[in-house]
Structures are given as C-alpha cells and as structure tokens.
Amino acid sequence: MYSEGYICYRLCENYLLSWRICLSSYSTCYSSGHNFKATLRIVVVFVLVNESV
C-alpha cells in the first residue's frame, strides 16, 4: 500500500492545483503523522477548491 505522503503528492497531480496550494496541503498532510483521516479531509478540501474554480 502506498504511503500517505505519496497519496498527498498524487492528489496534487490529479487535481492540478496551483503548486503553492498543493505544497501547503501536502506539507499539512505529510506532517500529520500519516493520519489517513487527515488525508481524507484534504481530499475534500481539494475537491471543493477544484470545483470552485
């Protein structure tokens, strides 16, 4: 299974967010102690940001 840090990185690519937002979200996700629930929260934020553009 992939590390959650890798998942965060892939989310950045998949949602094609600006790298500033992406790196900030990735850092939050990766430094969260690899808590998968934190990853899921970021997924929701990514989707909301992506849909609001």
Q: What is the CA radius of gyration of the chain?
A: 10
Cβ–Cβ < 8 Å for 12, 25: yes
- Using one digit for the tens of pLDDT, what is the confidence trace for 8-48? 666 666 555 555 666 666 666 656 555 556 666 666 666 66
Please give the residue range of the domain that contains residue 47.
4-52
d(CA 29, CA 31): 6
Q: Given this model, what pLDDT does residue 10 score?
A: 66
Q: Which tokens hold the place of 46?
A: 């990514």
Number of domains into which the chain is organized: 1
Q: Given this model, what pLDDT does residue 1 score?
A: 46
Q: Which residue has the higher pLDDT, 13 or 53?
A: 13
Q: Given this model, what pLDDT does residue 13 score?
A: 63
